[in-house]
Structure 1
Amino acid sequence: MKKVLAGAVGLIVFLVLIVPAVVIRSLFGLDPVGSPKGVAKGEDVVIRVYMAKQNQIVGMNLEEYVKGVVAAEMPAQFELEALKAQAVAARTYAVKHMATFGGEGIAAHPGADVSSDYREGQAWADEQELTARWGPLGYKVYWNKISQAVDETRGMIATYNGEPIIAVFHSTSGERTASAKEVWGSDYPYLKSVACNWDQQSPRYSETKEFSLSEIAERLGSDTDIVAAAQNGSTAAVQIAELTDSGRVGKIRIGSKLLSGGTVRDKLGLKSTNFKVETGADKLVFQTTGYGHGVGLCQYGANGLAKEGKDYQYILKYYYTGIDLTHISGS
């Protein structure tokens, strides 16, 4: 009798406590992994976007927001599977920042989850801007294509250990992506350097820029003594002192000054830190490969993989090491 009673009590505990917990977990937040965040299935997920041009915060459906990001961030002529990969990356970035899912929003604009200004996160474009870019007919064709990419990945995000990843992306890697550690100093297991041999078709794959020595001194600081060093015929006028694991410039000595590759890129307006330098009689010539910080999803690489028949899931798992693809509820 005691065994029967104990079994009955155990069954009641299971039905009262365990089953509801499982049901609640599947009804809210991330599914199948993640913490409940209060978004019920069937409800629209609303994201609060700071509209930079209007200087106001607007609430909109998450999936509609993602469409505007994909349209602004990736060429609409790209393969559908590449656009799908971009959609998942854009949605993941948004969810990572949304207060609804435990994110901290954007500090510069209290009350907003994200900003439409690419300098503060992801770019976003509305119908008026896209029509001006593509024309009325182009807008209809490309918007339908982008909508298909977003709709067919609806609610899907990239996660690592059950949490949305920092889904950074860039235009063109130039043969190899960079790790987060070598660019920003923070190590993330899913943002590792991987080979990228599919982005040579990018119009931004390589670029050459020339600077006079006086311009170098003006932009990088007169204390570089670059003019005097070059005029004296010093072979040490410019020397790459350190390369990162992905082959980008970690540190470079210009004249008497040791600078990071990132500093030189920013101050000279170079496309990337993957560059070589040649010294002329009165100038420096920079040959850059790739465009962007080089971390995470390579957009032109994604398009190249899509042309080879790879689907968006393969593309995402290639560029974001060890991730899972998870659906959020409520979308």
Structure 2
Amino acid sequence: MDTAVANSFPQNSALNFAIAGKLITGPGGIGRTWIIKWNNSQSVISVNFGKTKFLVSHGYIQLKAVNAPGLGFRIEATNWLRLHDEYLYGIAEVPSSWPAAALQSQVIASRTYALMRMNSIKKACDCHVYNSKYDQAFVGYSKEGEPRYGHLWKAAVDATAVDAGSGLAITINQLPVSVFFSSSSGGMTQRAVDVWGTDIPHLENVADPWSIDPAVNKNYASWTKKVSQKVMAKAFGFKDVIEVRLGERTATNSVLNVTGVSSDGKSKTLPVGIFKSAVKMPSSWFELITLN
């Protein structure tokens, strides 16, 4: 059997599913795919995996036995949603307490991001986008259901609607474009060519003075990061590091590459993206590294 459809169940019912080889066992049947729908649009459904609980209210839930690379068959739960509004109600990239214009800007960026990924299915999850940092932070009903501020985020999504079936997005020649967002920029956004080595015309330097205003961004207007000798040595693949040199810089004064030197005279230059990830640096915008 390829698909098993559950019968009707009373409100507050608990439905249990388990993987059985390449199939999923559930209430009264077994199949590779289960579809779970609910009639009341105000319902909140709790999807539980062990100690992890996920709340959903819109669309429907698909449970599918997916052969994930390196993991074998497992149950993959996917919340199928309308992209232009239902999916966005659950996006948790910014605080819902932010001003309406900021929330609406995030909605438009998130909608555009998702549109760019609508033409491909990820094999590992049988979905278009993950609900994590690998795509966008999606927390389902927990976002719009937030105490005090959740309704503000939902209102921002609704405010960017064009009609009942579409919403505002960022396009060039009527096609969605690649969009990216972060919590801070160091005073100016980067050009795509400086970050990934590939020029993307619409991703250019844009001034962001708020990122370096301590009154607005107290955590990252300026910052200090302590990195241990052990972590620094591991980043370069050396037994130790006695000197770190900052290389070329972009037009925004962000570092492009970093060179490490060991006590036995070895040196290695790393692209700043690799270095930053290895030592958990919050940004490529930094001035000086002093070794203790």
Q: Which residue of 2 aligns with 1:56?
A: 77
Greater share of helix: 1
Q: What is the CA-CA distance between 1:218 and the residue it aligns to?
A: 2.8
Q: Which residue of 1 aligns with 2:129?
A: 114
Q: Which residue of 1 aligns with 2:248?
A: 242
Q: Which residue of 2 aligns with 1:87?
A: 107
Q: Which residue of 1 aligns with 2:138?
A: 124
Residue 148, structure 1, aligned to residue 155, structure 2: yes
Residue 268, structure 1, aligned to residue 274, structure 2: no
Q: Which residue of 1 aligns with 2:25?
A: none
Alignment partner of 1:252: what SS? Answer: strand
**Structure 1, residues 215-254: CA drift from partner, whole Å, max 9, x if none?**
311333116x52xxx3xxxxxx221121123221111111
CA distance 1:113–1:211, change in 2 (3 Å)? closer
Q: Percent identity?
A: 30
Alignment partner of 2:223: what SS? Answer: strand
Q: Which residue of 1 aligns with 2:27?
A: none
The whole-number CA distance in structure 1 between the counterparts of 2:209 and 2:274 is 27
The whole-number CA distance in structure 1 between the counterparts of 2:63 and 2:205 is 32
Indicate conservation of the 8 Å contact 1:67/1:87, yes or no: no
- TM-score scaled by length of structure 2: 0.65
Q: Which residue of 1 aligns with 2:238?
A: 222
Q: What is the CA-CA distance between 1:159 and the residue it aligns to?
A: 0.1
Q: What is the CA-CA distance between 1:211 and the residue it aligns to?
A: 2.3
Tell which has more relative contact order, 1 or 2 (C-alpha 8 A, sep 6+): 1
- The one of 171, 175, 181 equivalent to 1:159 is 171
Indicate conservation of the 8 Å contact 1:50/1:115, yes or no: no
- Name structure 2 gaps, 5 residues minimum: 1-58, 65-74, 162-166, 262-266
- TM-score scaled by length of structure 1: 0.58
The whole-number CA distance in structure 2 between the counterparts of 1:129 and 1:168 is 21
Indicate conservation of the 8 Å contact 1:117/1:123, yes or no: yes
* Aligned positions, number: 210
Indicate conservation of the 8 Å contact 1:49/1:115, yes or no: no
- Name structure 1 gaps, 5 residues minimum: 1-45, 132-138, 231-236, 284-331
Alignment partner of 2:111: what SS? Answer: helix
CA distance 1:167–1:267, change in 2 (3 Å)? same
Q: Which residue of 2 aligns with 1:97?
A: 117
The whole-number CA distance in structure 2 between the counterparts of 1:159 and 1:64 is 21
Letter in 2 for 1:153: T
The whole-number CA distance in structure 2 between the counterparts of 1:181 and 1:97 is 22
Q: Which residue of 2 aligns with 1:6?
A: none
Indicate conservation of the 8 Å contact 1:48/1:60, yes or no: no
Give every structure 1 segment of 4 or more consecutive aligned residues whose post-TM-superposition deviation is greater than 4 Å.
46-51, 128-131
CA distance 1:47–1:165, change in 2 (3 Å)? farther
Alignment partner of 1:276: what SS? Answer: coil
The whole-number CA distance in structure 1 between the counterparts of 2:157 and 2:138 is 14
Letter in 1 for 2:204: K
Residue 66, structure 1, aligned to residue 88, structure 2: yes
Indicate conservation of the 8 Å contact 2:90/2:142, yes or no: no
Q: Which residue of 2 aligns with 1:234?
A: none
Alignment partner of 2:253: what SS? Answer: coil
CA distance 1:95–1:152, change in 2 (3 Å)? same
Matches within 5 A, 1:1-331: 55-62=76-83, 63-69=85-91, 72-98=92-118, 103-110=119-126, 112-118=127-133, 120-128=134-142, 139-154=146-161, 155-199=167-211, 200=213, 201-202=216-217, 203-222=219-238, 225-226=240-241, 230=242, 237-255=243-261, 256-280=267-291, 283=292
CA distance 1:96–1:214, change in 2 (3 Å)? closer
